[in-house]
Chain A
Amino acid sequence: MVMNDEIINKYYAKQINLPNFGIDGQNKLINSKVLIIGAGALGCSAILYLSAIGIGTLGICDGDNVEIENLHRQILYDIDDIGKNKAVISVDKIKRKNPYIKSKAYSRMITCENINLIASDYDIVLDCSDNYDTKFLVHDYGYNNKKTIIQGNIYQYEGEVFVFPFQNLTNCDIPCYRCLWDHVPKTFDRNTSIKGVIGIVPGIVGLLQSFEAIKLILGFSSEESSIGYLYNSIECELNKIRWCKNDKCKLCCRERNKYICG
């Protein structure tokens, strides 16, 4: 579809009008590349809003197909999408939502073998996955390759967003996720879907992840180090958590980097 600048500027007119946003802000978004790993409940909410705001290139990585039990929370998909690959369907929806951006589907699960091939081209990675193995893989890849990772996690009525601005790694010491959790204690190694989930919680957490990405791209964020946001939907409260490098960390304590992958 060929569109002229006038139409594109109309599409984004209301956000361009915002103080501190303007054409400059829109151009920053258009020139940015964001990869979303996992097109489940967190991913769907992020995909909808990041495509609408005009991130210039969006990559969607997911090897799963849509199932009927996904539809109550994976808000991008319809009944007609059941059985189809989530990344492919997402890109299809993005093209209809905002034809002025580029999007690419990676219809496979992210692995140690393919992560560099998929992620190396992107500036920011939103980790919207639903399991610890992927979360650690994406995080460690980000650390080792100086790529900013914005991780979303949920548990029942609660959620977390961790921002790891690893793109700043050359400037300062940035603590990592393994400084907090080197591995997951057995007690917590459970699957959320068994415990249940309501769509609004990952919807909100996916939006928090998205806005953290937008703030970094636009230069709105004053945070230069890692930070965690903890969200309790029942109390409607947000807590923040900061931390220092853990000298026992097996990833970011340089002599001990045990987690090179990708």
Chain B
Amino acid sequence: MKVNIIYYGYFREITGKCKEFSDFDVQNLKELFYQLNKKYNFELNIDEVLISVNGIYQNYSDYELNENDEVIILPPMSGG
């Protein structure tokens, strides 16, 4: 399914992009993160990452994705 991914911080650096609208053969967040990890080698577990779908943080990795969902992948930030 097509998913619109927005990367912040560390994930923008690793992927080299702010956004990615791509087709993934996945059903849920866990599978999506697994595919992204394989593609970009984040070297992180899903529980070390903050993921929101359509503006809502999801901490259940089996959260079912839908076509055209907007997924934000966010690390913590500490600068001031």
Expressed in whole angstroms, the minimum distance between the Cβ of B31 and any Cβ of chain A is 21
- SS class, residues of chain A in contact with chain B: mixed
Decide if A128 touches B76 in the complex (CB within 8 Å).
Answer: no
A158-B12, A230-B72 known; A152 vs B57 contact (CB < 8 Å): no
Give the interface of A toward B (CB within 8 A).
38, 40-43, 128-132, 135, 152-156, 158-160, 180-181, 184-185, 187-188, 190-193, 197, 202, 230, 232, 234-235, 239-244, 246
A-B contacts, 22 of them at CB < 8 A, read: A40-B80, A43-B80, A129-B80, A130-B80, A132-B78, A135-B78, A153-B79, A154-B79, A155-B77, A155-B79, A184-B78, A185-B48, A187-B48, A187-B75, A188-B9, A190-B78, A192-B78, A192-B79, A197-B79, A230-B72, A241-B56, A242-B56
Contact A130 B79 (CB under 8 A): yes
Is B79 touching A246 in the complex (CB atoms < 8 A)?
no
Out of B44, B55, B56, B77, name the residue touching A158 (CB < 8 Å).
B77
A-B contact sample (11 more), CB < 8 A, given A158-B12, A180-B50, A232-B8: A40-B80, A41-B80, A135-B78, A155-B75, A188-B78, A191-B78, A192-B77, A193-B79, A197-B79, A239-B6, A246-B59
User: With A154-B79, A155-B79 given, is the CB distance from A187 to B43 under 8 Å?
Assistant: yes
Contact A128 B52 (CB under 8 A): no
Q: Give Cα A184 to B48, complex, Å.
A: 8
The complex places the Cα of A191 from the Cα of B72 at a distance, in Å, of: 23
Q: Which of A43, A153, A246 touches B78 (beta carbons < 8 Å)?
A: A153
Chain A CB within 8 A of B26 CB: no
- Other-chain contact of A202, B8, B50, B80 (Cβ < 8 Å): B80
Contact of A154 with B77 at beta-carbon distance under 8 Å, contacts A187-B10, A239-B55, A243-B56 already known: yes
Task: Tell me the minimal C-beta distance from B43 to chain A in angstroms.
Answer: 7
